[in-house]
């Protein structure tokens, strides 16, 4: 018995490849924003985890507390990376119906 509903396996593989390409394009087009410090620092990251923008509120800049600003930047970047991972998992999960398929994540 064919677990794919008895359809043509070549057609199924082509449909899966097209769906994978669509998901990869959606991931590439992602722009995820995250912030820290109540919005003092905000970043935008793409689906490949490249930092696209970094905005720092001038009020968050103090030469007496550079460590706090560094922590806020790190927190915003790490949160954006977590959000990218979650968005990718959601898109891949929708494609595979929750199955873990090597090479798709």
Query: What domains can be seen in the chain, in order of their start residue?
Result: 31-96 (3.30.1310.10)
Cβ atoms < 10 Å from Cβ of 77: 18
pLDDT, position 75: 97
The CA distance from 16 to 44, in Å, is 30
**Nearest CA to 76 among 35, 23, 105, 45?**
35
What CA–CA distances, in Å, run from 80 to 4, 7, 12, 96, 104? 37, 41, 35, 24, 21
pLDDT tens per residue across span 40-72:
999 999 999 999 999 999 988 888 889 999 999
Q: Which pair of structure tokens corresponds to residue 56?
A: 């720092």
pLDDT tens per residue across span 9-34:
888 888 888 888 888 888 888 999 99
**pTM of the prediction?**
0.71
């Amino acid at each position: 018995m064919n677990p794919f509903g008895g359809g043509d396996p070549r057609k199924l593989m082509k449909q899966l490849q097209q769906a994978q390409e669509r998901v990869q394009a959606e991931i590439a087009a992602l722009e995820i924003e995250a912030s820290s410090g109540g919005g003092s620092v905000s970043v935008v990251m793409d689906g490949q985890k490249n930092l696209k923008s970094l905005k720092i509120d001038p009020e968050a800049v103090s030469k007496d507390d550079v460590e706090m600003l560094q922590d806020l930047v790190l927190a915003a970047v790490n949160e954006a990376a977590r959000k990218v991972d979650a968005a990718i998992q959601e898109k891949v999960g929708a494609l595979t119906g929750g199955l873990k398929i090597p090479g798709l994540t």
